[in-house]
Structure 1
Amino acid sequence: MVAIREAAAALDFGQLSRLVRTHTGFTQQELATITGVSQNFLSQLENGQRRLSDAQKAARFLDGLGAPHGLHSSPPLDDPQTRNQHRDPHETIRRAATESLDFADFITSTNTDDDLLAFLYDTLARIATDYVHKPVLPLLDDIVAIRDRVFALLRGRQKPQHTRDLYFLAGTSCLLLAHASQNLGDSTAALAQIRTANACAHQADHRPLRAWTAGTAALIAEWSPRGERALELIDQAAALAPAGQSRIRIAAIEARTSARNGDKRRATAALLRMQMAQEEVPEADGLAVFGGILTFPQAKQDYYTGATHNLLGSHDEAECYAARAIDQYVHGPSEARSYGDEALATVDVIIARLAQGDIEAALPALRMILSLPVERRIQQLGHSVQKVTELLRTPTLLPKPTTREVLELAHNYQVLGTSALPSER
């Protein structure tokens, strides 16, 4: 026993284990069973994290290898002739079959199936639809919850086609969070969500999602000091967008952004491209199935067109398109009635009338906007109300008694979040 203890202290059992497995083809689990230790212990032994200094364990280890306790082995373990003499071919066949089955289990294991994917799609569709006609704050936790669940699934194993679907769902949920972040006045958080949404879209190899993400990034940049960045993003999105609502949306964003930047020629050209896109045969983009905020219906198209005309100074046309958008929201399906877009289109009507000096015609709509519940006052509405108050302070309107009344109502107008920047509407 003393000799065994001295031999155990001198011998590197981890190296011996690796050599044996190299020359025999044994797995760690098989060699651990043979030598009387656990697979975890053997792994640590081979990695140099543990030592086999106990004499009895060392003896059992060597017995399992078929070596005498004095460590004198003849012939050596790596002798091919000896190895072939002692190897049972049937045992090799059984071991190979077991390992092949283990590998089959490994490559076919999945944490996702078609039913789960259908549930995730339906959940995101419900959120996207609710987003346009319900306050954003109650929906925020729902978006984060489904994003976290999809992230957790992606950290596990699933079939390749399911992995692509999960990346698409992850990108879509981050896209919704980008909208929510900007609606609540945090453009930095919105851009972080955009970055992740774009990365997921690339992993899913989903061009329409990349196009929609780039368009949303352009909307965020539109209101920033770097308006030219918005136009760069629009160019990226236009190259990716399929025919249909996605392409119409990009042209509408380009028109409004160009008008805001004072580029009348490009804004007018974009409005023309928008009309041409409206006449194209739509292509499937994978996003329309969600509905709501991930669509660009006619009412929203008219709202964007009206906003663009107001920025270009064409106030009669602006009021016409804005009023048409409002009418479609009021008389359309309740689940498609976007309270944010309807309010902003109403502000466009107000601006068009104030720009023509008609405060009395603008007053009913003004009072309605100023009396909206706070939970429905998204960030861009604060920017729009600020624009209205600027118009009210012009020399032609400021002296009127009605103007002072409205300015008093608009004083300290509170919107969601803390910033006054508008969002991606």
Structure 2
Amino acid sequence: MSKSDPSILLVDDDESLLRLMAIRLTGEGYQVQSASGGKDALKLLATKNYDVVLSDLRMPGLDGLSLFEEIMSLKKDVPVILMTAHGTIQDAVEATQRGVFGFLTKPIDHAELRQLLAKAAEQNQGAQQAKWCENIITRSNQMEQLLDQAYRVAQRNVSVLISGASGTGKELLANGIHKASKRADKSFVAINCGALPENLLESELFGHSKGAFTGAINEHQGLFREADGGTLFLDEIGDMPVSLQVKLLRALQEQMIRPVGSSKQVPIDVRIISATHKDLTKEMQDGNFREDLYYRLNVVNITLPSLRERSEDIPLLARHLLKSSAKKHEVKVSRFSDDAMQLLTTCVWPGNVRQLVNVVEQCVALTQTPVIASHLVEQALSASEQKWPTLTEARDAFEHQYLLKLLKMTDGNVTRAAEMAGRNRTDMHKLMKKHAVYSADFK
């Protein structure tokens, strides 16, 4: 649904009037869907979102006001305009007091209707635009421009690559883009591509048939099918093994997947949003990421700034996190002391927003007064810097140490090191290049 073509659900039990109004409104640039009564309208509202509902007031079965009440109970934030041939001041007052957006008397004044529809559509689209990113707290101009770009991209069914350091909120933005898209009523499914070994990652993505491998006692549909019609978020796509990248590329090109152990292909309709903290251009140069997959995923690139780059957001975020954490843990704490806030705003934040969340949580858990003092912030910052590593970080650290030990044991002989590791020389050289380990240093 774009700003240029708002959609209207038109509801009236008078079929000739319904047809006439639908033709007129379509001619004025609206997307119009018609319903001949309140019950039919509710069925349509259950499966689709509209910018405005324009309904007759007096209808058999479910009248206009009852339809409005049902729409509110469905938590559909859509403006409702009511029309009636029996209009009275009392009807209008009652309708607007209940929250109805507007009230028109038949015969309809089309200039008045046009003005009211434009105002309702503009208000609803503005509310929807704000609602999709309500969990992203910011007052930074850089972030505001980025969110405007993300909202525009959300309206187009294109693949998006979100770049940015760990902890900047890539999954939060991906979820927001999904909420702002036409796929919002379908599933948003996320997976970290660096958190699973290759065989498990393939099964998670594409599914597997019963008996495909040891332990596959049941069929597994996989995340592509789980996200069908919606959005699949591939976090840390740069960590996906090259052999699996080939299968992902084929699935995206053909819009078909083949579950592990199956001979049948399954059609899919999924929007892909991927994210990485790596420099994929460098990864391509090093042979770790396929160029054709990169261009398939990177139709639009959005780069999230580090928390340090949006430092004006730190006090705003800290206060928001304090309030939500205090409510969650039922702790009576109201604010940070001036010294504590100064400490927060001058911190480098290598872990970005994720680290800030962790620090605020610790402060709330440890404070014994309504005001959080600076020494608690210092303590929490110190603890957060010694955080438990992610699986990717732990694996990289292990690989690095493993390589060092191997090359020490073999005096820098790459062929012998590869044999001991159960890898070929090409794989061993790639691994050494990744960790900047050189055989000459061990000879």
- Fold match by TM threshold 0.5: no
- Larger gyration radius, structure 1 or structure 2: 1
What TM-score comes out, normalization by structure 2 length?
0.27
What TM-score comes out, normalization by structure 1 length?
0.27
Structure having the larger proportion of residues in helix: 1
